Amino acid sequence: MLTPIPDTQVRFAQLTVKQRYLQPDKVLAAVELYRRYQAAGGEVPSLARILVGKGWLERQKAEVLLRHILGREPLPPTSSSAQSGRQTAPAAGARPEIKAPQQAVPVVLPEPAEAPSSAPPVSPLFDDRETLRKGLGALIVPKNLVKGYTITNVKGEGSMGIVYRAHQLSMDRTVALKVLPAERTKDQRFVEEFLSEARNAGRLNHPNLIHVHEVNKSGEVYYYSMEYIEGEPLEGWMDECEGGRVDPKRAVQVFIQIAGALDYGFRAGVIHREIRPNSIMVCDDGQAKLGDLGLAKGEESRFFDGENAAYVAPEQVNNEPVDTRTDIYCLGCCLFHCLTGEAPFQGSSAGSSPKEVLYRRLTAPTPNPLEYNPNLPPSLAKVVMKMMARSPAARYQTPAEVAEALKAVSFVVPAHKKTVPLRGGFRRPVAGARPGAGARPASGAHPMPGRRPPPGHPQGLRDKRRPGR
């Protein structure tokens, strides 16, 4: 049984189409993704946040709809209603043009509950910050929040702060600007450690690392700027694949690059501590970049925050010392999720709490990716399981070993092995599609590849023409 979509989300979806901001197919794709977040448990981003994050809806238009839904502010007229008052009469003697009545494309969503007739009037002091906090998960901030930078829009957020797209005035370049949360900067020890490690991270230079430009303080705001990547996080990459499963060959190419970046940091004495799908960026040309190397601090306080529990290593759960093998475990969890479409240790219940996930990580055996995606090469499944071994001594000991193991994975399918067709690659969620559903065999194909067709099957007939004919 599907979890009902909240009325505010339904209204937002309907208004997006009604205002002609988006076509229904985009909205339905976002609704399908919203339902997948519901099924996975943990934090569920709003439809507004999904649409803006995908780049399908302008943030300004999303704010207009949210102010109307949450603050009852009037909506601007649509293009069709604005033109309705400027109709001109046909010229004398001209045959009137007959047009077919326009029919709106319906969006199949549950109807929102009717607002009570005694709803409070619109408040003249309606708070934009509260609107955006409820609807998009980030605060509206002044463009000059950080001196020397002009903020253009919000790119994302996480436990370590909000990431903005900004223009650095002194260098005349576009950067990603991460502002630390105010509650974290109250701990002076945390701030000093963060600034020290951030400056060390700024000295790192590797083609698969997001380079840190500047670490500083502007007023009461602590921030650091990074190179701006034209791409999307790994989690967004997975969202565009059928069942959340990335094609294994493409996934391996991405994780070989990230393992190389981790090995560079390892040899420089820097570890990551908090590798998540949203810390890996994938560019349009296939290049992968790892962000926040050496910048994640105080990770033990975030084990129980939503989806973070799916990627932490056992030694982190037990508050034991961490090293590069911890990063290897976290990277293995990300690769498991990327190949199977499911985060590890979720159990039979999709809505498992973070505590349940962490308990299974300490007690249950390492899951086999083949049980979730039978089409994976067995050698690749073995690499993932070794990366996710509970004991650090049983894992690969350096990221370079991980990269070499991934390079050695064979994608040759034995002739005797039966395969289940899966539609990998990059495509947006389809409304009503069953997550993980495979593609049907091509017309005329034998239903059991690799097996000899039975007598009488069209593919079993032989052309018995005479020689030379």
What CATH number is associated with residue 169?
3.30.200.20
Is there a single domain that holds both residue 300 and residue 387? yes
Per-residue pLDDT of the chain (469 residues; tens, 9 = 90+): 567 888 888 888 888 888 888 888 888 888 887 877 777 666 677 888 888 777 788 877 888 888 888 777 888 887 554 344 444 444 444 443 434 333 333 444 444 444 444 443 333 333 444 444 445 554 445 667 889 999 887 777 665 677 888 999 999 999 998 888 777 778 788 788 777 777 877 888 999 999 989 888 888 888 889 999 888 889 888 888 888 899 999 999 999 999 999 999 999 988 888 898 988 999 888 899 998 887 765 545 555 555 678 899 999 888 899 999 999 999 999 999 999 999 999 865 555 678 888 889 999 999 999 999 999 999 999 999 999 999 999 999 999 999 999 999 998 765 555 445 443 433 333 333 334 433 333 434 333 344 344 444 444 433 433 334 3
Is there a single domain that holds both residue 242 and residue 357? yes
Is there a single domain that holds both residue 155 and residue 132? no
Between CA 248 and CA 294 the distance in angstroms is 28
> What total number of domains does the chain contain?
3
Is there a single domain that holds both residue 254 and residue 377? yes
Q: How far is CA 444 from CA 82, 440, 459, in A?
A: 54, 11, 8
Please identify, among 205, 227, 249, the residue that sits at the C-terminal boundary of a domain. Answer: 227
pLDDT of residue 187: 79
Residue of 408, 252, 266, 416 lying closest to 328 (CA atoms):
266
Is there a single domain that holds both residue 247 and residue 201? no
Interior CA angle at 264 toward 259 and 268, to 5°? Answer: 140
Cβ distance 280 to 373 under 8 Å? no
CATH number for the domain including 257?
Answer: 1.10.510.10
Is there a single domain that holds both residue 278 and residue 394? yes
Is there a single domain that holds both residue 278 and residue 134? no
Interhelix angle 399-407/248-267, rounded to 10 degrees, is: 150
Cβ distance 12 to 46 under 8 Å? yes
Is 445 inside a domain boundary?
no
Cβ distance 330 to 343 under 8 Å? no
Q: What are phi and psi of 178, to 5 degrees?
A: -105, 125
Residue of 39, 38, 33 lying closest to 6 (CA atoms):
38
Is 418 inside a domain boundary?
no
pLDDT of residue 351: 55
Cβ distance 177 to 261 under 8 Å? no
Is 83 inside a domain boundary?
no
Is 301 inside a domain boundary?
yes
Is 119 inside a domain boundary?
no
Between CA 454 and CA 13 the distance in angstroms is 52
Show the domain range for 15: 1-76+126-140
Is 94 inside a domain boundary?
no
Is there a single domain that holds both residue 204 and residue 332? no
Between CA 195 and CA 421 the distance in angstroms is 50
Between CA 430 and CA 426 the distance in angstroms is 12
Between CA 218 and CA 150 the distance in angstroms is 13
Cβ distance 225 to 213 under 8 Å? yes
Is 400 inside a domain boundary?
yes
Is there a single domain that holds both residue 378 and residue 242? yes
Is there a single domain that holds both residue 52 and residue 154? no
Is there a single domain that holds both residue 163 and residue 257? no
Is 92 inside a domain boundary?
no
Chain mean position to CA 430:
16
Between CA 138 and CA 333 the distance in angstroms is 27
pLDDT of residue 128: 45
